Amino acid sequence: MLNSREAELLAVYGRRRVGKTFLIRNVFEQQLVFEFSGMHHTTIDQQLQNFAIQLSKSSGAKLAKPEGWIEAFEMFTNYLTPIIKRKKKVIFIDEFPWIHTLRSGFLPAFENFWNVWASKQKNLVVVICGSAAAWMIQKVINNKGGLHNRVTKKMLLLPFTLGETELFLKERKVNLDRYQLIQLYMVMGGVPQYLKEVEVGESANQVINRIAFTKNGFLHNEFNNLFKSLFNDSINHTKIIKELGKKGAGLSRNEIIKDCSFSSGGGVTQLLEELTASGFITPFIPFGKNAKDSIYQLTDEFSYFYVKFIENQKFYGDGTWEKFSMGASWKIWSGFAFERICKKHLVQLKKEIGIENVHTEVSMWNYKGLKGADGAQIDLIIDRSDHCINICEMKFSSAPFIINKAYSNELKNKLDLFRNKTNSRKTFFLTMISTFGVANNEYKTGLVQRDLTMDFLFVK
């Protein structure tokens, strides 16, 4: 954009604490001539006063509070005009959704500012940013009014992958083995602001106990603050999050409506779209089905951890997490959490299998047996255009995973049921994904075609 010969309007969005502001400030450090951030739950007068203060600091002149946003952008235009005559300059409006309060007139005024003046300035880059990803998509990127097709660049900033998390922590002199890094990732995902809480010399258990199970811990009150900052009315959003947090396998739209006691209608569709756009939930289409049959899973690591272990926790302090991590509930939960991490790293998985250039469709499959007959569930299916299917089983364990006779029979039953019920004629490759690989024994031989350890998840 700095090398562009025309005006640029960049929309940056992504969940809270992912590093959007940090990225923008650092990339445009030399060109940034004005920065303004919206304030949460404040009046239009307070927003305008804040704007006047920031513009006064940038211009060096004492400016009075404008009467409204049209006047504010006129003041802004007067300030920018001489500055951008010779060199490319950047202005940055942060927390953009917070400024557009009810009857504020901010968005129409911004549309007018861009369409009438800013879009004609070849030396101007306007960056708008917001953590309310759904709002940014609906009101800015997919705007039907004055901003329709006006955004020249857009960027969804995602949390770090496991590989990026490893690099980030090493840069901060934190050296943990990959098994412990995955445990941390299960709790906080790749959110940089959370990862900054990891201190040198601590084990994963020590970190989790300190930031989640002490009253002053960084994550202790994060959940409610997180959703209140993203959605004006977050009650129904958190209802969905909490219900999905209880169901490891996920829920259909109708099941969400039932479990949350919602009335069916477009309101639920919007809630699901907003949570999906903000990166908290992910819809997965079952094998052979279409989008209306999607199963929604809670894929934000911190939210999934919070619902299970923090929300109703009565006791805090030293040793709390160590106690949890030795229990059966942790073992079951960590299995589901590991599955979610594997699904988030499909690029790395396809590369490890050697099919990064093969067209694939990713899905899940569930069959409920009738009248006591065996059922089966497959959590990750990679359907390939080269007439093959990778059926993936994911296991989180502290040592090489052992396939015994009972589990071997379960796997064979899954493969047989899947082939019979789907009538697929493709070649099946049973792909085991585990932390330390699968132990060699008679039950692995001839059954497992690909045996992957956690290391591929860390590929950059």
Domain boundary among 137, 156, 175: 156
Domain boundary among 111, 131, 156: 156
- How many CB atoms are located within 10 Å of the residue 311 CB? 12
The size of the chain, in residues, is: 460
Does some domain include residue 314?
no
**Token pair in block for residue 291:** 């989008």
- The H or E element spanning position 134 is helix 133-135
SS3 397: coil
**Range list of H helices, 177-265:** 178-188, 192-195, 204-212, 222-230, 235-246, 253-259
SS3 378: strand
Report strand pairing: 295-298 vs 8-13: unpaired
Contacts of 173 (CB under 8 A, 6+ apart): 200
Domain boundary among 107, 131, 156: 156
- How many CB atoms are located within 10 Å of the residue 107 CB? 19
Domain count of the fold of the chain:
2
Measured distance CA(8)–CA(271) in Å, rounded: 31
Provide the greatest CA pair distance for the chain: 80
CB 70 within 8 Å of CB 35: no
Contacts of 22 (CB under 8 A, 6+ apart): 192
CB 262 within 8 Å of CB 236: yes
pLDDT reported for residue 315: 65
Does some domain include residue 286?
no
The angle at the Cα of 176, spanning 170 to 182, to the nearest 5 degrees, equals 105
Q: How far is CA 294 from CA 246, 300, 406, in A?
A: 18, 18, 31
**Token pair in block for residue 254:** 């109708």
Does some domain include residue 131?
yes
CB 333 within 8 Å of CB 308: yes
Does some domain include residue 411?
yes
Does some domain include residue 127?
yes
pLDDT reported for residue 321: 86
CB 96 within 8 Å of CB 59: no
**Token pair in block for residue 3:** 């090398």
Question: Would you give the DSSP letter of residue 118?
Answer: G
The reported pTM is: 0.92
- Map tokens 């305008």 to a residue: 48
Report strand pairing: 295-298 vs 281-284: antiparallel
Q: How far is CA 193 from CA 223, 229, 342, in A?
A: 14, 16, 22
pLDDT reported for residue 287: 95
- List the CATH number of the domain containing 452: 3.40.1350
Measured distance CA(363)–CA(347) in Å, rounded: 15
Does some domain include residue 60?
yes
Print pLDDT tens along the chain (460 aa): 999 999 999 999 998 899 999 999 999 999 999 999 999 989 999 999 999 999 999 999 999 999 999 999 999 999 999 999 999 999 999 999 999 988 899 999 999 999 999 999 999 999 999 998 889 999 999 999 899 999 999 999 999 999 999 999 999 999 999 999 999 999 999 999 999 999 999 999 999 999 999 888 999 889 988 998 888 888 999 999 999 999 988 999 999 999 999 987 668 998 999 999 889 999 999 999 999 999 999 999 999 999 999 988 766 677 788 888 888 889 999 999 999 999 999 999 999 999 999 999 999 999 987 776 778 999 999 999 999 999 999 999 999 999 999 999 999 999 999 999 999 999 999 999 999 999 999 999 999 999 999 999 999 8
pLDDT reported for residue 264: 72
The dihedral formed by the CA atoms of 348, 351, 356 and 358, expressed in degrees to the nearest 10: -120
Does some domain include residue 192?
no
Q: Which amino acid, 57?
A: K
**Cα 448 to the chain's mean position, in Å?**
32
- How many CB atoms are located within 10 Å of the residue 408 CB? 17
Structural domain boundaries enclosing 22:
8-156
Of 349, 19, 51, nearest to 192 (Cα)? 19
Does some domain include residue 396?
yes
CB 454 within 8 Å of CB 178: yes
End-to-end CA distance of the chain: 25
pLDDT reported for residue 372: 65
